[in-house]
């Protein structure tokens, strides 16, 4: 098989490439330049590209650098900034997977005659009865099925995830055994285009006008304090929220009125999460109204049982939780897993809102 491996310069994609080469495939590596100049850290720094190139050289496979900086800006960074301006908190890694890696790069791999696009994600693609399933990676601590949960059959049929059946320590051991320079490289952290001491706040402040706002208690309607920038508050956040007696969680962010609404843990908890119409994707078939599933609402969030309620298509999807959940920020992705087979992803959608408070 001809396989194009997306090589970030990290250990997972290095070992993914090495495994494919060892299996006898015709492999080429590609590193994406998504962001930044020579000084930038994150997933597309020059040092990371150098690592990817050196690993490819060691494996004896061609290596290409593809510049997707303008597409990344348009499809990932600008929507990220725009969402924050509206008080939503998107997951840019998921949007990058959706728009760049498993769309543009996958299409490019097809045009270039590759049979598969491989990545170093910790997740598995399995076939059962002619259907492909996306399953959690073998290492529960490193599972990345959540950030791939938007993939459908056609994409799953065109990708390979060679390290999905390995634990992280097995990946590192394999890299060390092969003498790959990335064997001991630390895992990447956070969002690739946000780094340095200024972090998210500094990045957004450079792109947006941030507004101070009031913090208001959901129960009493009383002002409890203030925040420096409502755009930086994420629904569900506790840090920085005034604690009047008990800790308070942000339950709503209204940028227009510059108001953050908070509640204590009991009143913040939600029983229902709605997914934005048009955002819902299925690995195979849609869940029927009233079917049960297990929902995960962040990369390493705790899975929770829910029932799916599908109204009219334009109404999106609602997930009802018998056990109350911490509020989830609009813009986040909710991934659905199979109740009977909890490693299997069923689908995903983007959170529009949460409610049904007790």
Partner 1 sequence: MDRTDTDRRAPAGDPPLTYLDHAASTPVRDEVVEAMAPFAAQVFGHPSGHHRQARAARQAVEDARDQVAGLLGAVPGEVVFTSGGTEADNLAVLGVLGAAARRRSGGETVVVSSAIEHAAVLEACRAAAARLPGVEHARVGVDTRGVLDLERLGEALDARVSLVTVMLANNEVGTVQPLSDVVTLTRRLAPGAVVHTDAVQGAAWLDVALAARGVDLVSVSAHKLGGPKGAGALVVREGTELEPLVLGGGQERERRAGTHDVAGAVGLATAMAAVAKERDAEAVRVGALRDRLADGLLDAVPSVTEAADRKSVLPGLCHLCFEGVDREELVVLLDEAGVCVSAGAACASGALEPSHVLAAMGVPARIARGSIRFSLGHTTSPADVERALAVVPEAVARLRG
Q: Which is nearer to partner 1, 67 or 257 (CB)?
A: 67
The pattern of x and - marking residues 8 through 37 that bind partner 1 according to CB under 8 A reads -----------------------x-x---x
Minimum CB separation of residue 53 from partner 1 in Å reads 7
* Cα distance between the two ends of the chain: 55
SS3 of residue 281 by DSSP? strand
Q: Does 188 bind partner 1 (CB under 8 A)?
A: no
Q: Which is nearer to partner 1, 70 or 206 (CB)?
A: 70
Q: Does 157 bind partner 1 (CB under 8 A)?
A: no
149-152 contacts, C-beta under 8 A, 24 or more apart:
149/94, 149/281, 149/283, 149/333, 149/335, 149/336, 149/345, 149/347, 149/348, 150/94, 150/97, 150/98, 150/281, 150/333, 150/348, 151/102, 151/281, 151/283, 152/281, 152/282, 152/283, 152/284
Minimum CB separation of residue 37 from partner 1 in Å reads 7
Q: Which residues pair with 304 in a beta bridge?
A: 295
Minimum CB separation of residue 67 from partner 1 in Å reads 4
Q: Which is nearer to partner 1, 47 or 82 (CB)?
A: 47
Do 229 and 210 form a contact (C-beta atoms < 8 A)?
A: yes
**Segment 78 to 117, residues that bind partner 1, using CB under 8 A:** 108, 111-113
Q: How many binding residues for partner 1 (CB under 8 A)? A: 20
Distance CA 40, CA 185 (A): 17
Tokens of 5: 């491996």
Q: Which of 1, 57, 62, 196 binds partner 1 (CB under 8 A)?
A: 62
Candidates 66-74, 83-91, 124-132, 137-145: pick the segment binding partner 1 (CB under 8 A): 66-74
- Write down the number of H helices and E strands in the chain: 10, 18
Q: Which is nearer to partner 1, 52 or 125 (CB)?
A: 52
Q: Which is nearer to partner 1, 46 or 173 (CB)?
A: 46
Q: Does 67 bind partner 1 (CB under 8 A)?
A: yes
Q: Which of 5, 16, 43, 49 binds partner 1 (CB under 8 A)?
A: 49
Polymer length in residues for the chain: 358
Handedness of CA 103, 105, 111, 117 (dihedral sign): negative
Minimum CB separation of residue 44 from partner 1 in Å reads 7
Candidates 42-50, 140-148, 193-201, 331-339: pick the segment binding partner 1 (CB under 8 A): 42-50
Helix (H) or strand (E) run with residue 320 in it: strand 317-325
Q: Which of 22, 53, 284, 298 binds partner 1 (CB under 8 A)?
A: 53
Q: Which of 3, 11, 43, 44 binds partner 1 (CB under 8 A)?
A: 44
Q: How far is CA 189 from the centre of its chain?
A: 12
Q: How many CB atoms lie within 10 A of CB 322?
A: 10
How many Cα atoms within 13 Å fall on the side-chain side of residue 7? Answer: 36
Provide the annotated active-site residues. 96, 192
Q: Does 64 bind partner 1 (CB under 8 A)?
A: yes
> What Å distances lie between residue 199 and 196, 226, 228, 235, CA to CA?
6, 21, 15, 19
Q: Does 181 bind partner 1 (CB under 8 A)?
A: no
Minimum CB separation of residue 30 from partner 1 in Å reads 9
Report the interface residues with partner 1, using CB under 8 A. 31, 33, 37-38, 44-46, 49, 53, 62, 64-67, 69-70, 108, 111-113
């Amino acid at each position: 098989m001809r396989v194009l491996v997306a090589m970030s310069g990290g250990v997972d994609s290095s070992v993914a490439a090495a495994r494919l080469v060892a299996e006898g495939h015709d492999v080429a590596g590609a590193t994406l330049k998504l962001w930044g100049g020579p000084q930038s850290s994150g997933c597309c720094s020059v040092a990371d590209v150098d690592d990817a190139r050196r690993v490819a050289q060691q494996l004896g496979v061609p290596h290409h650098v593809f510049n997707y900086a303008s597409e990344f800006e348009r499809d990932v960074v600008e929507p990220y900034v725009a969402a924050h301006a509206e008080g939503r908190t998107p997951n840019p890694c998921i949007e990058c997977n959706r728009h760049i890696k498993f769309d543009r790069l996958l299409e490019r791999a097809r045009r270039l005659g590759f049979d598969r696009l491989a990545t170093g994600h910790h997740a598995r693609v399995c076939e059962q009865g002619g259907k492909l399933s996306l399953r959690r990676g073998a290492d529960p601590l490193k599972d990345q099925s959540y950030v791939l949960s938007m993939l459908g059959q056609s994409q799953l049929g065109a990708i390979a995830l060679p390290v999905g059946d390995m634990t992280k320590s097995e990946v590192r051991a394999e890299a060390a055994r092969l003498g790959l320079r990335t064997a001991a490289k630390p895992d990447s952290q956070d969002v690739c285009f946000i780094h340095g001491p200024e972090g998210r706040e500094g990045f957004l402040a450079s792109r947006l006008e941030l507004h101070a706002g009031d913090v208001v208690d959901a129960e009493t309607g009383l002002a409890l304090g203030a925040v420096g920038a409502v755009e930086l508050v994420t629904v569900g956040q506790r840090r920085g929220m005034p604690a009047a007696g008990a800790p308070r969680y942000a339950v709503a962010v209204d940028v227009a009125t510059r108001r953050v609404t908070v509640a204590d843990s009991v009143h913040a908890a939600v029983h229902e999460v709605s997914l934005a119409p048009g955002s819902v994707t299925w690995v195979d078939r849609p869940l029927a109204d009233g079917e049960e599933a297990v929902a995960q609402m962040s990369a390493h969030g705790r899975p929770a049982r829910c029932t799916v309620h599908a109204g009219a298509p334009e109404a999106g999807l609602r997930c009802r939780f018998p056990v109350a959940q911490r509020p989830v920020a609009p813009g986040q992705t909710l991934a659905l897993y199979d109740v009977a087979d909890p490693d299997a992803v069923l689908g995903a959608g983007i959170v529009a809102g949460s409610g049904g408070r007790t």
